[in-house]
Amino acid sequence: MEAPVAERLKRAGCAVYVSKWPICRLPVILTLGLLLTTCATDPRGTSIPSVLDPRGPEANSIALLWWVMLVLGAIVLAIVGGILIYIAARGRGPARNSSEGLIDEDSGQRWIWLGGVILPLILLPIAFGFNLSSLATISNPSQAAVTIEVTGHRWWWEVRYPEEDVVTANEIHIPVGQPVQLQLASADVIHSFWVPQLHGKIDMVPGEVNSLRLQADDAGEYRGICAEFCGAQHARMQFILVASTPEDFEAWLASQRQPAPEPESEVIRRGQQVFLGSACVYCHTIRGTNASGEVGPDLTHLGNRRTLAAGTLPNTRGNLAGWILGPQHIKPGNLMPPTHLPSEDLIPLLEYLDTLD
Ligand code: CUA
């Protein structure tokens, strides 16, 4: 940078800009860091959700609106920032005492008309037009292929397919390329349903049912999160939305409609007895058995799910054992009490839960 300009900027109060201290680089590093987070993949295998990686018509429309607002905001920032720097540089420079200063009364009026009236009259209708177009897209009234009821609990997701008599948890399966209707409710406090790559977020309010229609154009697994602070384990209230071909989706529905299989060996029968003889039955349902509790997730097809405790842990036998013995160590404050089982009960129980596929 040329010394006189640097000197003028410094005198105009732009010391940060010309400083040699790393603080100048901080905004650049933060911005790059934020952009790079969209490239990551988390241990569950799903990509880190980003609204800038849209995979459906509603999300495309929201992402387009985001970019339009960013460009319009950048234009305004460039104009206002450019004028400020120009004034600062000129006002402090050789023309400082000249009678031809930048801001005389006439040009002051011109700037007010330009910046206060003409610029907003050009930019705001553009933003408004894109907003209307985005609203029309996300309130698409076309016929939904399937209706899914999702209820937020502290801190997990109950998922029901009312027309199919299917209940599951923390995982939502949909057919790819078809609109699906979500009916969103809450069993306790306000949660917020958000799959950033597929749609905007929408609150789940106790006593209300909110609707959301979304569509995934690409098959795959999408991460969903609770986007409203709902207590200590809000960050561990996640789900996976699986978009698969209509044939695979129908096959998944058919398997989920089945009750749990009957135990086929002595160990598994023993495991089932442990489950049915413990406090598990007061909170969990396993269809095909006497367990019909409704406080916690339905476990009929537990083995089919990718994660435990709403995205907290990968669904492995070791994690399941840890979760049964010490759920309060893993997710403090959740409603599941520890189950103190000797290993001669725990191992058959794990064998039995393994068969719930
Ligand atoms: Cu539920 Cu945050």
Q: Scanning the structure block, which residue is given the tokens 């495991």? A: 271
Encode pLDDT of 58-112 as tens digits.
999 999 999 999 999 999 899 889 988 988 888 765 555 555 555 567 777 888 8
Token digits of residue 80: 């206002």
Question: Structure pTM?
Answer: 0.80
d(CA 257, CA 47): 29
**Ligand 1 centroid to 228 CA: how many Å?**
5
d(CA 200, CA 59): 7
Closest residue to atom 1 of ligand 1, CA basis: 191
Ligand 1 in contact with 237 (CB < 6 A)?
Answer: yes
Residues 212, 199: contact at Cβ < 8 Å? yes
d(CA 24, CA 78): 19
* Positive or negative: CA dihedral 153, 155, 160, 165: negative
**Ligand 1 centroid to 62 CA: how many Å?**
23
Ligand 1 in contact with 229 (CB < 6 A)?
Answer: yes
* Greater pLDDT, 23 or 56: 56
**Ligand 1 centroid to 192 CA: how many Å?**
6
Q: What is the mean pLDDT of residues 198-204?
A: 95
Query: pLDDT band at 15, cuts 50/70/90?
Result: very low
**Ligand 1 centroid to 195 CA: how many Å?**
13
Query: What pLDDT score does 36 carry?
Result: 58
CA distances from 183 to 116, 148, 150, 186, 193 (A): 44, 6, 6, 10, 11
**Ligand 1 centroid to 245 CA: how many Å?**
30
Quick one: 242 exposed, middle or buried, by C-beta within 10 A (0-12, 13-18, 19+)? buried
Single-letter amino acid code for the residue at 345? D
Looking from the CA of residue 228, the nearest atom of ligand 1 is 2
Encode pLDDT of 131-145 as tens digits.
998 888 888 777 888
Q: Scanning the structure block, which residue is given the tokens 């402090």? A: 92
Encode pLDDT of 273-313 as tens digits.
999 999 999 999 999 999 999 999 999 999 999 999 999 99
Q: In this structure, how many other beta carbons lie within 10 angstroms of the beta carbon of residue 233?
A: 19
CA angle 230, 233, 238 (to 5 degrees): 85
